[in-house]
Amino acid sequence: MDDSSIADVVMHPVRLRIIQQLGGRSLTTAQLRAALPDITQATLYRHVATLVESGILSVVEERKVRGAVERTLALGDRMAHVDQAELRAMSDAQLRSAFLAFLGDLSADFDRFVDSEDATLRDFVGFGRVPLYVDAADLAAIQAGLSELLAPYLSQTGDDGRRRVSLATVLVPEPELPSAAD
């Protein structure tokens, strides 16, 4: 496994999109290509190789298809998540770049949704913003509660009529406003 930071590996826009496609499910390389049609095959394979080498993706199955080996991929043992220590270690420029990669991927997902011919998808879309007043302990409790709430929905359990949706969260602390006395 490569010792580079997870942030260095996953914060490339193509790699981020590959990881998002695999979250909670296993896909063959052919299925990945179909899910990401705007990425050339050579580019996709190069980024998949980087993600496998770093331990972020793992090959869960290999089988012969017309003389070639088709791999089935899933998220690997090394979580594809940038932790707080890595976020703190990023420069301002790296942090901005990582956030823009995240927003770009989210925007591309939204564009694909809007361009879809499936009118029923609108039943599953929503977005909003709400201010929260928290301290570090409150935030940890919210994150633990969300993890527990979402756990049953994080993996594909077969064809039970459930649709895959993407839930994106962003926490942006607001700087303190100057007091009226300043």
- The whole-number pLDDT of residue 1 equals 43
- For the record, the structure tokens of 103 come out as 């927003």
Q: What is the pLDDT of residues 46-68, one digit of tens each?
A: 999 999 998 889 999 999 888 88
- The whole-number pLDDT of residue 4 equals 61
Listed in sequence order, the residues at least 6 apart from 13 whose beta carbon sits closer than 8 Å to its beta carbon are 101, 104, 105
Sorted by where each begins, the domain ranges of the chain are 6-150
Q: In the predicted model, is pLDDT for residue 177 greater than 90?
A: no
Q: Mean pLDDT over residues 69-90, rounded?
A: 78
- Residue 2: which pLDDT band, with cuts at 50, 70 and 90? very low
Give the C-alpha separation, 78 to 22, whole Å: 14
Q: In the predicted model, is pLDDT for residue 108 greater than 90?
A: no
CATH architecture of 6-150: Orthogonal Bundle (1.10)
Q: What angle do CA 28, 80, 85 make, to 5 degrees?
A: 170
Listed in sequence order, the residues at least 6 apart from 43 whose beta carbon sits closer than 8 Å to its beta carbon are 14
- Residue 22: which pLDDT band, with cuts at 50, 70 and 90? confident
Q: In the predicted model, is pLDDT for residue 179 greater than 70?
A: yes
Listed in sequence order, the residues at least 6 apart from 77 whose beta carbon sits closer than 8 Å to its beta carbon are 55, 58
The pTM (predicted TM-score) of the whole model is 0.68
